[in-house]
Structure 1
Amino acid sequence: MTKYIKAGQFRVPEGYGAIVGHASESREFPYGGLFIRLAKLWMRASGTTVTVVGSENIPADGGALLASNHTNYFDMVWVGIPAHLRGRRLVRFMAKKEIFEHRVAGVLMRSMKHLSVDRAAGTASVSEAVARLKAGDLVAVFPEATVSLSYEIKELKSGAVRIAAEAGVPLIPVATWGGQRILPKGGKAQLGRKKIPVRVHVGTPIDPAGDPVERTAALKVALQELLEEARGEYEREYGPFPGGESWRPASLGGGAPTLEEAKEIEKKTKEERARR
């Protein structure tokens, strides 16, 4: 059984070694100097325990594209933690342009140098992501495009593979689990002192070069394996759970919709938005 130790306020496998802070990113304000500190204060106040496995797979310097599953609205927080453990590096997220158009959220996103994505005209977003990666940034994307209501891995868009291949950087799979209990899509937020555990598992880099369809399939396999690993450890450490929980997938006896049911829900939601 894996033994864990503390790395600041996070749990990491025994043998983890701290490294020197990144020359520029560790001092960047307001992202590192303010927002990350606020996030850590909230985690401490809420009693949120975050266990990180595989942070050594993220480079301590230079560009890499992180591709993560997407189960909740706090995934940007969880995915950023392994990079924080690698010398307080910062992750620039690709997010839909509607967030950047919000009066408050837009200011925050731009101040942290995240990337706006226009799904109707994504060429400029891809070019910007490639440029950032070539300049040595860590960039993250959610290749499922939207939150997975089933908490399973949905079909992936090929953009992650194409961007990483064009930039010539590693493609690193990341799986988070447990965060959907805190801020689920369409559910009640649990932001108080709930002491909800979260796991973040980082996989070994995938070579993005080659056929995009084939490489995207390889990314999906890697994400699925990481997710099953994270969920298995979560069940063993914090379970057993009674069953029927809305935050657990049907495959584990939870009450979340299956992949097919979730697809139908998303379809009806899009149709309703179109009518409005």
Structure 2
Amino acid sequence: MTQHSQFALLGKRRFLPFFLTQLLGAFNDNIFKQSLILAILFKLSVSGDRTVLVNLCALLFILPFFLFSALGGQFGEKFAKHALIRAIKLAEIVIMAVGAAGFLFNNLPLMFLALFGMGTHSALFGPVKYSILPAALREDELVGGNALVEMGTFLAILAGTIGAGIMMSTSGYAPLVAGAVVLVACCGYLSSRFIPHAAAALPSLAVDWNIFRQSWAILRLGLGQTPAVSRSLVGSSWFWFLGAVYLTQIPAYAKEWMHGDETVVTLILTVFSVGIALGSMLCERLSGRKVEIGLVPLGSVGLTVFGLLLWWNSGGFPAQADPQSWLAVLGHGQAWWALGSILGIGVFGGFYIVPLYALMQSRTAENERARVIAANNILNALFMVVSAIASILFLSTAGLSIPQLFLVVSLMNIAVNSYIFKIVPEFTMRFLVWLLGHSMYRVEHRDLDRIPEEGAALLVCNHVSFVDALLIAGAVRRPVRFVMYYKIYDLPVLNFVFRTAGAVPIAGRSEDLLVYDAAFKRIGDYLREGELVCIFPEGKLTGDGEIDEFKNGVARILEENPVPVIPMALQGLWGSFFSRDPRKGFFKRLWSRITLVAGTPLAPELASPQTLQAQVAELRGGLR
């Protein structure tokens, strides 16, 4: 399987212009929004409560996601995506020109109008942004592409926030901000001109301009997807709930608990954003460049653990008469523990969110993808509003401190994700498979690109250990339906994994004829549905490390379902803890290196049991 770095995508025209376009958009959003907030707080002469006006900014930016995400989803299906992106980026220039005029003339209503316009721009851009990726990227690039987008988005948010602070600290801030937002908008439009052609997924779609009716319809479409996709929408929105809680409380946390000034706020934001970027980047490597939803439970556990650590490490900062700079705060050992916890939240947040977005894209029909992403955006906005209400209730009504709020949301994270993983046990199953392949074993893959990307096929492999199916499932890009001896299928813990993966228990004809016949019927159903089925033709685990005679069950399968056959072999697994080697030991072969190799596909008429046994033996070689 071809190995490549996700950063290589930055050299591809099918990705780089889009990446720059979305990065510049996120950067511009945050330059303008943060500059407006700072202008209200420190620069403008305003009547009324400045805090209310700052909260009004948040409302004006998030409101368009409720109002216009449904339109954005419909536009993303009906129109060519590259042309739609260019139209949206052209509108951004107009919106930013209005915002620039607001800054130049100190006109707050114009600034508010532009902020609402930028929220609308983002609401329309979001569905097409995520729906274009599966069309532009190969399957093995999808996780890396999403990781780069998430990394770029959070770093753009950070850069926009810092850039706004720098510009607003000068006396002549107005022309600087005005010029910057218009220039960035123009650069975004220019980069969009280089996005390659991306055809409309459903050009016949009739746009429903009733935003309330269509928003409800799109929410129903999104939540009516398969459980894995619909609960991914919930998980994604929960991530933004957590993110909104942390990001909203950072300024007050830096001031009241770390006794720091504005530079400490920037330090915390930097650490958090770098954590998200780092976690996003690591996703591709840890997932083996495929959509690996097993990382989602890992991310969830990390979010809870580091959230609890942040609560635990939030006390003990010595009180100061004056706020301290970031360098002074770093002089306290407690600060390093708190910042390490924040970094951990960011890293595991990346593990959590990137696979969810990739799963939404990969498992949604092309002609529904943009609308499903629109449903996700509506839910994200709803959860962010609920997070603000919940924070107010916990902090004001319940009288919790900010660290106690972090404790509460960390515990809530356990409850929410327990619900998601209970409804979709595939998350937990894939996590166990991923954990096995990254703890006890180091699995090398050879020639697995010989397994077809789509369509029915039969995989045949030697049977060395109780975890052969898990190792193959963790290596093959597509879901695999395993046929296994029913006593192995019924093993505790592993039975949960096998049931969730749709494995097929089989018994010998003389042992249980009903189980035997039911197994072949289910195998036939899977193959007719175009799925991959894997069988271990020896019918039992090897007792001496050698390959036993292949039984005739594979011949019956191919007679009833003539599909291509891919011989495979596991090397180096004999002697491991889960094999039947009498000299095995738990630590003897811990983290041992094993290899899974695939051979040349065979036509069904050539795949006799004897031929397949010879092929598998040749692939395995002398390494048992």
State the TM-score, normalizing by the size of structure 2. 0.31
In structure 2, the CA distance between the partners of 1:19 and 1:126, relative to structure 1 (3 Å rule), is farther
Per-residue CA deviation, residues 45-86 of structure 1 (Å, 9 max, x unaligned), is 44x3211111111111121111100111121122224423xx
Query: Is residue 446 of structure 2 the alignment partner of residue 53 of structure 1?
Result: yes
Q: Which residue of 2 aligns with 1:197?
A: 593
- Which has the larger strand fraction? 1
Q: Which residue of 1 aligns with 2:615?
A: 222
Q: Which residue of 1 aligns with 2:519?
A: 125
Q: Which residue of 1 aligns with 2:111?
A: none
Cα RMSD (Å) of the superposition?
3.2
2:503 aligned to which of 104, 114, 117: 114
- Measure how far apart 1:99 and its partner are: 4.0
Q: Which residue of 1 aligns with 2:425?
A: 30
Q: Which ranges in structure 2 are unaligned for 5 or more consecutive residues?
A: 7-138, 143-290, 292-358, 365-422
Larger RCO, structures 1/2 (Cα 8 Å, 6+ apart):
1
Query: Is residue 495 of structure 2 the alignment partner of residue 92 of structure 1?
Result: no
Q: Which residue of 2 aligns with 1:18?
A: 140
- CA contact 1:74–1:179 (8 Å) conserved in 2: no
Give the counterpart letter for 1:74 in structure 2: V
1:72 aligned to which of 465, 470, 478: 465
Per-residue CA deviation, residues 148-168 of structure 1 (Å, 9 max, x unaligned), is 122222111021132134222
- CA contact 1:177–1:199 (8 Å) conserved in 2: yes
In structure 2, the CA distance between the partners of 1:179 and 1:186, relative to structure 1 (3 Å rule), is closer
Once the two structures are overlaid, the 10-residue window that deviates more, 143-152 or 72-81, is 72-81
- CA contact 1:58–1:82 (8 Å) conserved in 2: no
Alpha-carbon distance in 1 for matches of 2:436, 2:496? 21
Alpha-carbon distance in 1 for matches of 2:475, 2:545? 21
2:575 aligned to which of 181, 192, 198: 181
Give the counterpart letter for 1:96 in structure 2: Y
Q: Which residue of 2 aligns with 1:135?
A: 529
- Aligned residue for 2:463, secondary structure, equals coil
- Aligned residue for 1:18, secondary structure, equals helix
- Measure how far apart 1:29 and its partner are: 4.0
In structure 2, the CA distance between the partners of 1:177 and 1:100, relative to structure 1 (3 Å rule), is closer
- Measure how far apart 1:95 and its partner are: 1.6
Query: Is residue 545 of structure 2 the alignment partner of residue 151 of structure 1?
Result: yes
Give the counterpart letter for 1:115 in structure 2: V
Q: Which ranges in structure 1 are unaligned for 5 or more consecutive residues?
A: 9-16, 232-247, 249-276
Per-residue CA deviation, residues 239-265 of structure 1 (Å, 9 max, x unaligned), is xxxxxxxxx5xxxxxxxxxxxxxxxxx
Per-residue CA deviation, residues 187-217 of structure 1 (Å, 9 max, x unaligned), is 444269933100011011122226xxx7111
Q: For residues 252-263 of structure 1, what are the structure 2 equivalents within 5 Å? A: none
Give the counterpart letter for 2:554 in structure 1: A
- Aligned residue for 1:49, secondary structure, equals strand
- CA contact 1:65–1:171 (8 Å) conserved in 2: yes
- Aligned residue for 1:226, secondary structure, equals helix
Larger Rg: 2
Alpha-carbon distance in 1 for matches of 2:587, 2:480? 23
Q: Which residue of 1 aligns with 2:407?
A: none
Identity of aligned residues (%): 25
Alpha-carbon distance in 2 for matches of 1:160, 1:78? 21
- Measure how far apart 1:133 and its partner are: 0.9
- CA contact 2:575–2:589 (8 Å) conserved in 1: no
Once the two structures are overlaid, the 10-residue window that deviates more, 186-195 or 125-134, is 186-195
Q: Which residue of 2 aligns with 1:244?
A: none
State the TM-score, normalizing by the size of structure 1. 0.65
Alpha-carbon distance in 2 for matches of 1:59, 1:7? 23
